[in-house]
């Protein structure tokens, strides 16, 4: 989406719609992490005020600033204590998977509402269309990006939960290098990580729309 801050001057209404979609997507994603961790017996997210749909609990100030400036940022990660979980490895996977799953579920729900509205009123206001399409698109992109198997993304923990314990232990040794792999995949031409996310996301979005 590029720098939303500069888009505010060119197309303020569209920029505000995009910002609202980003806030909703991040809030749902982080809330899902917190809710599942809490339901699995870890009180940490609840004690830190994360089991809420209030966006203020989930937006990271630096991540939000980066979204405004370059269109690429992050929310505030949900902290949890694996020692409070009955099955730390599998429960950690469930907590990690909750974020992307919640985004896909929201995108599916919004797409159903969107299609029903189009049946009732085929000539929807372009701003309404932008809002629905933007919310669906952002949620799918956020879900697929977070499923990349690279630390600190959710996909890394999902893979750790799927592997046998001995292999999962070896997998965890890659965690310290995750940010390096992520930067290379996202920013080093031809940006294979972005190409993969875009390809998979576009296919899902086309199905939903």
Q: Tell me the pLDDT tens digit for each residue of 196-207.
A: 888 999 999 999
Is the Cβ–Cβ distance between 8 and 21 less than 8 Å?
no
Q: How far, in Å, CA of 56 to CA of 190, rounded?
A: 35
Domain residue extents for the chain? 4-208
Residues annotated catalytic, as ranges: 30
pLDDT in tens, 83-102: 999 999 999 999 999 999 99
CA-to-CA separations, 28 to 6, 35, 116, in angstroms, rounded:
26, 10, 23
pLDDT in tens, 106-159: 999 999 999 999 888 888 888 888 889 989 999 999 999 999 999 999 999 999
14/91: higher pLDDT: 91
Longest CA pairwise span in the chain (Å): 57
Residue 64's Cβ-side half-sphere holds a number of Cα atoms within 13 Å equal to 16
- Angle of helix 192-208 relative to helix 88-120, nearest 10 degrees? 50
b/e 165-197 (16+ beta carbons within 10 angstroms → b): eeebeebeeeeeebeebbeebbeeeeeebeeeb
**Cβ count within 10 A of residue 135:** 24
Q: Sorting pLDDT into bands at 50, 70 and 90, what band is 5?
A: low
Q: Sorting pLDDT into bands at 50, 70 and 90, what band is 4?
A: low
pTM of this prediction exceeds 0.85: yes
């Amino acid at each position: 989406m590029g720098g939303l801050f500069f888009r505010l001057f060119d197309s303020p209404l569209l920029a505000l719609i995009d910002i609202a979609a980003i806030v909703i997507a991040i809030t749902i994603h982080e809330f899902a992490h917190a809710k599942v961790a809490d339901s699995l017996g870890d009180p940490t997210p609840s004690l830190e005020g994360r089991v809420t749909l209030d966006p203020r609990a989930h937006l990271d100030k630096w991540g939000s600033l980066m979204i405004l400036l370059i269109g690429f940022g992050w929310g505030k990660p949900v902290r949890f204590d694996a020692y409070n979980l009955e099955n730390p490895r599998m429960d950690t996977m469930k907590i990690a998977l909750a974020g992307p799953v919640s985004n896909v579920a929201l995108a599916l729900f919004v797409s159903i509402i969107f299609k029903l509205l189009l049946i009732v009123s085929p000539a929807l206001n372009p701003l309404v269309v932008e809002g629905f399409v933007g919310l669906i698109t952002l949620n799918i992109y956020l879900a697929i990006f977070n499923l990349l198997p690279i630390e600190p993304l959710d996909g890394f923990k999902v893979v750790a939960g799927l592997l046998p314990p001995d292999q999962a232990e070896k997998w965890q040794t890659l965690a310290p290098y995750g940010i390096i792999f992520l930067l290379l995949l996202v920013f080093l031409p031809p940006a294979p990580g972005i190409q993969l996310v875009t390809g998979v996301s576009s296919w899902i979005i086309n199905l939903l729309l």
